[in-house]
Amino acid sequence: MAPHAEIDSGSTNGDGPINNGQARSSAAAAGNLFTVSSPNVVYTDSTIESKYTYRTTSVTAGADGRYTATPKETLYDFKTERAVPKTGLMLVGWGGNNGSTVTAGIIANRRGLTWDTREGPRSANYYGSIVMGSTLKLGSDAATNRDVNIPFHDVLPMVHPNDLVLGGWDISGLDLAASMDRAAVLEPTLKQMVRKEMAEMRPLPSIYYPDFIAANQEDRADNVLPGSKAEWAHVEKLRADIRDFKATNGLDKVIVLWTANTERFADIIEGVNDTADNLLASIKNGHEEVAPSTVFAVASILENAPFINGSPQNTFVPGAIALAERHNAFIGGDDFKSGQTKMKSALVDFLINAGIRLTSIASYNHLGNNDGKNLSSQRQFRSKEISKSNVVDDMVEANTVLYKPGEKPDHTVVIKYMPAVGDNKRALDEYYAEIFLGGHQTISLFNVCEDSLLASPLIIDLVLIGEMMTRIQWRSSGEGEFKSFHSVLSVLSYMLKAPLTPPGTPVVNALAKQRAALTNIFRACIGLEPESDMTLEHKLF
C-alpha cells in the first residue's frame, strides 16, 4: 500500500461532478488578483519586496505613577518568494479522526464532489479555514469609498490545499478508508466516493511510548517501531521517512504536523531536556522523560521540516525550542483551537473590553471519540485542562480597572468520555460576571462541536500559513542580510489554544488580536498599512 497520496486537481472518477469553484490548484489561486502601486513595493520574477513603516508607542513610567507615551517608527524591508513550492504534509496520527477527515476533505475538494444527505445535496468546501474561507479588506473603492474585500488566500502566493501531497505515521496500521469508517465522522455517501483512494493509503509505523498516552490506547498500537522509550534510532528512522517522502514525491518542502493522541506533560528536568545538547543526549541515552512528540519534533528540526503540534502537551520543552533556534527551523503549537475554546477566547475578549467583570467560567465537555477516550486518563486530561484554562489570562491581565495584579476569574474545565456522542462534542459553558452597581450577568452556552470537522480546516490553515512563513524574510531597512522570522511561529496563534511564543515574549490569546497580527504581517509583505476601522472617509464631510 502507498504511504502517501496525490491526486490531480480537478480530476474525477465518475463518483461526482466537478465543482469548479473548489477544484482549483495553487497556480490558479496564486494569480495576479491585484498589484500594489507604490514606490515602496517592487515586483520581480521571483520576489515581492516591500518597505514597511512599523509604528508603535513606547511607554515609560515616572516616579509619580504617570506615563509618558512616545510614538516610534521603524522602517523594515520585507522580501517574499513568489514561487509556490510543491509541498507535502506528513501527519503524525494520520489514521486518527482528524487525519482521516482532513484527507477525505482534501480529496473531495480536489475532485469537486457533491453528495446526498438527509438535508439535501452538499458540496466539498473549505469552510472553517481562515485561509480558504475568509476575506480581508484590501482597501476602499476609489469611486464609492466602499470596502473592497478579497479572499485571504489571494493576498500572497500561497499553496492551495488541493495540491498538498499527504502522508504520515500512525500507531494503528489500518488503511485510511478503514480509519475513516472507525472515526464515524463523514456521511456514508461521501465515504463511498473517496473510499477507493483512501484504501490505497496506509500510515508508516510510528513510535509508541506507553507511559505518555492512556493505557486504553494499547489495543490500537499494532503499527509501531521497536522500542518503548526514546532512542536515537527512532530519530534517524523518522528523518529517513521524511527524506524518502520528499524524494519519492518530488517535493520542495515537507510540513510535519502532530494530530495524534494527547500526551501527558513531560517533566522539565535540568540536564535532561533543558538545553538542546541535553535533549539530544537524553534521546541517545533512552531517557524515559522524552515524549514521542518531542522525538518527532527533533527529527523534523534536523530535517528542516517545519513541525506543528496540534495537541496540548508540552512537546516543545526548552531543549526542543533551543534546537530549533540553533538550526533556524520552524516550530509551532500547541493544541487546535476549534470549538469551545475559540468561542471562549472571543466572548471573554468582548466582555472584558466592554468593562464587564467576569468572576467565573465553568466549562463542561462530553466527548465520545478516541480523543475523549484518551483524555479519560487523568494525566492526559491534565494536559488538556492546562491548555483550555490559560486562554483568558492575557485578556484579564490587560484590564487593570477590573482586576488587581494576579487576580483572575475562577475557571474550571471538565471533560467526560461519553461514547454515545461520538465526534459531536457537547460543550456547555457558564460565564458569571459582575455588572453595574452590584448586579450580575450569567451567560450560558450549549455548543455542539463536530470536532474533526472543525479541526481539519485548522490543520490546513496551520500548514498553509506555516509554509508561507518559510518564504518571508525581513530586515531593518538597509541593514545587513535578510533573515527569517523567529523559529517559533507565534503568527499561528489564531488556530491554537496555547500558543507557543519565543522565549521571553508575551502570549496573546485574544482572538481579534491574533487575527490582526496575522492579517497585518501579510499586508506588510505587500507594503500596505494595517487595516483601520476609523472610516474617516465616511465621517469627515
d(CA 144, CA 364): 48
Check residue 453 and report its DSSP letter.
H
Written as one letter, the residue type at 222 is D
> Which three three-digit cell numbers place residue 441?
450577568
Task: Flag whether 110 is in a domain.
Answer: no
Helix axis angle for 318-326 and 292-302, nearest 10°, is 10
Per-residue pLDDT, 12: 32
Asked about 425 being catalytic, the answer comes back as yes
Task: Flag whether 401 is in a domain.
Answer: yes
Identify the residue whose cell numbers are 526514546.
230
Residues 378, 415 contacting (CB under 8 angstroms): no
Handedness of CA 223, 283, 489, 335 (dihedral sign): positive
Per-residue pLDDT, 302: 98
d(CA 486, CA 333): 14
Task: Flag whether 394 is in a domain.
Answer: yes
d(CA 402, CA 100): 45
Q: How many other C-beta atoms can be found within 10 angstroms of the C-beta atom of residue 170?
A: 28
Beta carbons within 8 Å of 501's beta carbon, 6+ residues apart? 488, 490, 493, 507, 508
Q: What is the dihedral of CA 373, 376, 381, 387, to 10 degrees?
A: 50
Residues 469, 485 contacting (CB under 8 angstroms): yes
Task: Flag whether 412 is in a domain.
Answer: yes
pTM for the full model?
A: 0.90
416: domain range? 340-450
Which run of H or E residues covers position 122?
strand 120-123
Per-residue pLDDT, 384: 63
d(CA 9, CA 27): 11
Of 472, 496, 473, the residue nearest 316 (C-alpha)? 496
Per-residue pLDDT, 531: 83
Q: Which of 241, 335, 349, 429 is catalytic?
A: 335
Beta carbons within 8 Å of 134's beta carbon, 6+ residues apart? 151, 152
Which run of H or E residues covers position 475?
strand 472-476
Per-residue pLDDT, 483: 95
Q: Which of 191, 229, 384, 388 is catalytic?
A: 384
Which residues on adjacent β-strands are paired with residue 60?
68
Q: Does residue 130 sit in helix, strand or coil?
A: helix
Of 455, 427, 430, the residue nearest 442 (C-alpha)? 430
Q: Which of 191, 246, 253, 497 is catalytic?
A: 497
Per-residue pLDDT, 373: 66
Handedness of CA 316, 322, 323, 328 (dihedral sign): positive
Per-residue pLDDT, 3: 44
Task: Flag whether 409 is in a domain.
Answer: yes
Task: Flag whether 397 is in a domain.
Answer: yes
Per-residue pLDDT, 25: 42
Task: Flag whether 374 is in a domain.
Answer: yes
Q: Does residue 268 sit in helix, strand or coil?
A: coil
> Which three three-digit cell numbers place residue 429?
459553558
Which residues on adjacent β-strands are paired with residue 148?
139
Q: Which of 163, 237, 425, 429 is catalytic?
A: 425
Written as one letter, the residue type at 495 is M
Per-residue pLDDT, 209: 95
Cα angle: 63, vertex 64, 68; to 5 degrees: 80
CATH (domain of 370): 3.30.360.10
Q: Does residue 245 sit in helix, strand or coil?
A: helix
Cα angle: 224, vertex 226, 230; to 5 degrees: 95
d(CA 399, CA 44): 46
Asked about 335 being catalytic, the answer comes back as yes
Q: How many residues appear in the chain?
A: 541
The number of folded domains in the chain is 1
Task: Flag whether 428 is in a domain.
Answer: yes
d(CA 68, CA 60): 5
d(CA 248, CA 264): 35
Check residue 529 and report its DSSP letter.
P
Per-residue pLDDT of the chain (541 residues; tens, 9 = 90+): 344 443 333 333 333 332 333 444 433 334 478 999 999 999 999 999 999 999 999 999 999 989 999 999 999 999 999 999 999 999 999 999 999 999 999 999 999 999 999 999 999 999 999 999 999 999 988 888 888 999 999 999 999 999 999 999 999 999 999 999 999 999 999 999 999 999 999 999 999 999 998 788 888 999 999 999 999 999 999 999 999 999 999 999 999 999 998 899 999 999 999 999 999 999 999 999 999 999 999 999 999 999 999 999 999 999 999 999 999 999 998 889 988 888 898 999 999 999 999 999 999 988 777 777 667 667 776 766 676 667 888 899 999 999 999 899 999 988 888 888 888 888 899 999 999 999 999 999 998 889 899 999 999 999 999 999 999 999 998 788 999 999 999 999 999 998 999 988 988 888 899 999 999 999 999 999 998 877 777 776 6
